[in-house]
Structure 1
């Protein structure tokens, strides 16, 4: 192979991210060791999202976007929650990600965990942001879009689920919702089946029956599912389109593809890299603007049978929306050292809040 030859592809898409979790690295241990998935939520993620303020959200989003850019991911579909800093949070995220140069689709994940008023405020933030996007119109150039978010059905009343579906329909977008991730959400398909539409993103689907009858794209997050010990989704069994996300553990989609493949093969010796590659490629159907972006890689052949067995493939140059965003592995629109330093400062604030 000629080492001087490099491959060029479209920008990659992370079909499910939690940018607010970018500051979680190095966070203090939870007050008790979680024994199951619900305790992971209660003792880790629900404590973290409650501690967030708008400054933390801004720098967490910038750090997550920078990580994505350096991995050749030019479009992120984000799912956000910050119950003490709801109003304006989606615009803060969009501004921060776009400043790095990356495309963003974000939403606020409503929940009744903080009462009816909390759910209503989450819906209002989705409505405000989507209205803001509609007013901006074509000037956004595909750099920011949105959906309506739902945390998970088991944390929402039927009325809240119906309200989210209605708001999404009024704005002509889909709903982005965690579905059957853990055993606490088993049977969710019966609650949302009549609400779902083709534009919906159904995240995880680990405990969905194969014949669930839900409309929408199922987003597989193998690294997160393994980390949370919730089981294997076996996404090849679904007739729905399947896409690939990270659930907040970075946005390196080539690495996520590699893990998706080896996890599938661990369950089925006949599996090849092609299925997992098709899941990653589905991101372009969800965020087609990324097809106009350009990534030059450190390796000569970006295709499933090469990437599955080739470690540390890096993005060298990235152009987004026709403008340079990465050159020789270095971000061109922001100072990467400053982003990481400012994010570290906010992480210290966040971790202190968690300790208290």
Structure 2
């Protein structure tokens, strides 16, 4: 039995969502109960106790869209790379990078990304992978990295026509292989989706092939209308909007996740709503790529689409993205009231709901029977913390590097900022060595 107490407990339950001097009791892989520190310490006097020291005790965070393969782009300078638009960014940086990624680099980047996620309080990560330098076994390398760090993760491989039919089919096969491997696991720590890049790099015959190969009940993870070129391609080649085309191809549905959805119209939003397709928005990445601001608040409020938030490889600090998500819509709409309630609802409410369309163990809430995924944040408030204002405290006062302890699936993975049972120095050293080799391959 493990108790985590003496803190401001944010349960994210609909009722009893905040407990002053709260405590959570963990028994095995699940939460036993929540209550006050005094009551649970009295009830379980022999339990190990983690003292939050007046900080925040929260459910572990869920990152709904990441790109681990982008890890080694940090600090990278590519000869002749001077992008003018999003297509230049894709072709000049990301496609060049993933064409040189081999399994050694994939594994090393996975170790770093999962390590960094744990340090930032992210306990579940949905990743969208590409490594056309070595496709076969690449998801297995990420899976191995996740197992070694004790991270909960959902993986897929980005199918695309951009490197020819043989590699497209190899990417599909890698997805299918991992989907089948996940079904044989005896725990709920890893799940799988069928990854698709974006409509403009996927022909109709390819989508038909993907559909035929995808095991029944599997969802798709795809970028939609991240840039205008994707929109223009669909209209020019197929005389139909992207979402309509994907509907016709049978890609949408309750377990499918659409990334970005920046340049879509009302009718496409209706289709996403009516098919119960999930949407994930990525504010920092959108700003960095200068691709525009999605109508995320409209999708949330007017259409009732289940929309969450990811980091898209820009960072592993989801709380940093919380700040950007709050700001981008205020700035874009010139409305100081925009996003106050919607953005925290997306991150802290919808992300776990979306994840639970794939994972069986209840995520994102501290209550009896839910996943024992818990974080402790070293935050001392200058003003009172209450049930009415704790999201505001998180927004303005907390970032990922303030996470002190991370518990995943009932296991303490980080204690006092030190990741347990892991040689961090070796992980960073291996990453730097693999990154250097990758950079050399990219620049010839």
Normalising to structure 1: TM-score of the pair? Answer: 0.94
Q: Could you tell me which of 307, 313, 318 is aligned with 2:394?
A: 307
User: What corresponds to 1:183 in structure 2?
Assistant: 228
1:272 to 1:127, Cα distance in 2 relative to 1, 3 A = closer
Deviations 1:221-247 (A, max 9, x none): 000001100000120111211110011
Shift of 1:163: 3.1
Contact kept in structure 2, 1:150 and 1:161, CA below 8 Å: no
Shift of 1:311: 4.4
1:39 aligns with 2:93: no
Structure 1 stretch displaced more, 141-150 or 188-197: 188-197
State the distance in 1 between where 2:377 and 2:171 align: 39
User: What corresponds to 1:224 in structure 2?
Assistant: 285
User: What corresponds to 2:189 in structure 1?
Assistant: 143
Shift of 1:330: 1.1
Q: How does 1:1-356 map to 2 (within 5 A)?
A: 4-136=53-185, 139=186, 141-168=187-214, 170-186=215-231, 187-194=241-248, 195=250, 196-212=252-268, 213-214=271-272, 215=275, 216-238=277-299, 239=303, 240-266=305-331, 267=333, 268-281=335-348, 282-288=350-356, 289=361, 290-291=363-364, 292=371, 293-299=373-379, 303-312=390-399, 314-356=402-444
State the distance in 1 between where 2:78 and 2:415 align: 37
Shift of 1:171: 3.6
Contact kept in structure 2, 1:210 and 1:237, CA below 8 Å: no
DSSP-derived class of the 2:266 partner: coil
Runs of 4+ aligned residues of structure 1 deviating over 4 Å after TM superposition are none
The structure, 1 or 2, with the larger RCO (C-alpha pairs under 8 Å, 6+ apart) is 1
DSSP-derived class of the 2:397 partner: coil
Shift of 1:286: 2.4
Deviations 1:317-340 (A, max 9, x none): 111111110000111131222111
RMSD: 1.8
State the distance in 2 between where 1:329 and 1:277 align: 25
Deviations 1:189-240 (A, max 9, x none): 2210232111110000010113301331110000000110000012011121
More helix by share: 1
State the distance in 1 between where 2:158 and 2:339 align: 35
- Structure with bigger gyration radius: 2
Contact kept in structure 2, 1:30 and 1:44, CA below 8 Å: no
Contact kept in structure 1, 2:81 and 2:93, CA below 8 Å: no
State the distance in 2 between where 1:72 and 1:310 align: 15
Contact kept in structure 1, 2:119 and 2:417, CA below 8 Å: yes
Number of residue pairs aligned between Structure 1 and Structure 2: 352
State the distance in 2 between where 1:233 and 1:69 align: 29
